[in-house]
Amino acid sequence: MSRLFRSLSFRLALFYAVLLCVSVALVAAIGYRVWVAWPMQEIESEVDREADETARVLQNEGIDATRLVLEQRMRSAGVRKSFHALIAPDGEIVSANLPSWPRRPSSHMTLIEADTFLDGFEDDYTALVRDRTFADGTRLLVGRDVEDILREDELLRTAALWIVCVTLVLGLAGGWLMSRAIGQRIETLARTARQVMDGDLSERVPVRGTSDDFDRLNETINLMLSRIEALFGTARRVSENVAHEFRTPLARLLTRLEALEQLEPEGTPAREEVDNAIAEVNRLQRIFAALLRISRLEGGRHPLHIQRCDIVSLLEDLVEFYQPEADARGIELVLDAQRPLVAELDLDLMFQALSNLLDNALKYVPGGGRIEAFASGEGALHIGIADNGPGLSREEAARVTEPFSRGEDTAGRAGEGLGLSMVAAIAQVHGARFRLEDNRPGLRALLIVPPGLH
């Protein structure tokens, strides 16, 4: 519900409904003034005038003359039927055509129901009455029928109430429908944006072909995506070509250095320098190999060999492979996974990804620390490496999967800053999500592989 209220289109529809209600109320108010309030005022002053006249007759000519005047007034045909009641000081009703009146006189104009029965037919009347009591105790009520005006009043009220109710209901329903229709279009757009963010640059927003506002927006966004994709492709090809073209010259460089190495006897400073140079060339070669691999993975040009794998034995092999290194560093390396746990994935790539993560953990976790290779999951497979080392800040975690970026504390630690980029690329080709979470304390690097892959 709160989500509905947050929807702009729904709020707009609701605002229009309320605006419509206000205008209906305004029209009703004007109608009330014209058809109810003004006629009522006129009749009030008419009744007042008649009451004054009758009072004068009563005071000047006595009660009998008044009775005659009143009875004459009753018989005379007027637009509005006239009503009266004349009560003597002793309580005797001298003359009256009002069926009833309040026991206590009121100083205000009062409305008295005065339905009459004539030949079995009921006529509805309501009298607007001026009620006066004189010094000698004589009570005089003079009034006229206002039934038609009261009906107008009621009609106006009922109409206004219905219109407001119907408007509000239609406004709410229309707003809901509108927000749903617009929400769906926006949701398709957001879905595409999310897929693009997840790395699938070839994703496009569907266009309906109706050339409406959303279609035009979506077409523009699609053009933007095409442009971004083209730029990305260029950048990727360039880095791939660079890595590729460097290989043969590097191979030559390496063979020359090795030739040089053979010329120098072991132990001389020159030989040491040559060995250092060879180590640097090997490092370069590893960087290029990793770059090429990442770029092939990201570009979807690395054929996947998806197979059903026993995840626990994969982790066992991984832990076994790194156990000597962990022992040498005084780090406890444990496995947390239980058979049976099988998943469909590219075994070599997954091993590479986990090996990069474990390698990183071994670099950053201090001696005495603990590293855990874990896997679990029914449905989506959660697999990764958790440690209790220094961990990563939120900003670092967002940045470290970029090529050549490393955690802040990297002084003196080996690596080319490509390990996590490769993990991210491997996650991407598996349709998996790669997350770096706080392990409180430490880092929890996690791959979430969806079930039923490819």
Which residues are 342's β-sheet partners? Answer: 310
Q: Which is nearer to another protein, 83 or 288 (CB)?
A: 288
Q: Give the C-alpha distances (Å, rounded to integers) separating 83 from 95, 111, 120, 123, 128.
A: 11, 11, 20, 14, 9
Least distance from C-beta 450 to another protein, angstroms?
Answer: 23
Taking CB under 8 A as the rule, does residue 278 contact another protein? yes
Stretch touching another protein by CB under 8 A, among 19-27, 30-38, 188-196, 274-282: 274-282
Tokens in use for 227?
């442009």
Round to whole Å and give the CA distance between 217 and 223.
Answer: 10
Q: What are phi and psi of 77, to 5 degrees?
A: -75, 125
- 415 within 8 A of 406, measured Cβ to Cβ: yes
Tokens in use for 56?
């004068």
Least distance from C-beta 351 to another protein, angstroms?
Answer: 4
Stretch touching another protein by CB under 8 A, among 101-109, 333-341, 379-387, 415-423: 415-423
Taking CB under 8 A as the rule, does residue 321 contact another protein? yes
Least distance from C-beta 290 to another protein, angstroms?
Answer: 7
Stretch touching another protein by CB under 8 A, among 46-54, 111-119, 129-137, 241-249: 241-249
Peptide bond into 441 cis (omega under 30): yes
Q: Which is nearer to another protein, 105 or 415 (CB)?
A: 415
Taking CB under 8 A as the rule, does residue 150 contact another protein? no
Taking CB under 8 A as the rule, does residue 347 contact another protein? yes
Q: Which is nearer to another protein, 181 or 251 (CB)?
A: 251
Taking CB under 8 A as the rule, does residue 406 contact another protein? no
Taking CB under 8 A as the rule, does residue 292 contact another protein? yes
Round to whole Å and give the CA distance between 316 and 112.
Answer: 98
Taking CB under 8 A as the rule, does residue 244 contact another protein? yes
Round to whole Å and give the CA distance between 58 and 144.
Answer: 19
Least distance from C-beta 206 to another protein, angstroms?
Answer: 34
Q: Which is nearer to another protein, 226 or 323 (CB)?
A: 323
Q: What are phi and psi of 313, to 5 degrees?
A: -70, -30
Taking CB under 8 A as the rule, does residue 356 contact another protein? yes
Choose which of 10, 214, 322, 434 interacts with another protein (CB under 8 A). Answer: 322
Identify residues 417-446 at the interface with another protein (CB under 8 A): 419
Peptide bond into 269 cis (omega under 30): no
Taking CB under 8 A as the rule, does residue 270 contact another protein? no
User: Can you give the three-state secondary structure of 113-148, one letter per residue?
Assistant: ECCEEECCEEECCEEEEEEEECCCCCEEEEEEECHH
- Which residue is it, tokens 């993990």? 423
Taking CB under 8 A as the rule, does residue 275 contact another protein? yes
Q: Give the C-alpha distances (Å, rounded to integers) separating 396 from 22, 370, 393.
A: 55, 22, 5
Taking CB under 8 A as the rule, does residue 238 contact another protein? no
Taking CB under 8 A as the rule, does residue 328 contact another protein? yes
- 136 within 8 A of 89, measured Cβ to Cβ: yes
Taking CB under 8 A as the rule, does residue 44 contact another protein? no
Rg over alpha carbons for the chain, rounded to the nearest Å, is: 47
- 408 within 8 A of 354, measured Cβ to Cβ: no
Sheet containing strand 139-145, edge to edge, reads 93-96, 82-87, 139-145, 126-133, 110-113
Residues that bind another protein (CB under 8 A): 244, 247-248, 250-256, 258-259, 262, 275, 278, 281-282, 285-286, 288-290, 292-293, 296, 302-303, 317, 320-322, 324-325, 327-328, 347-348, 351-352, 355-356, 359, 362, 414-416, 419
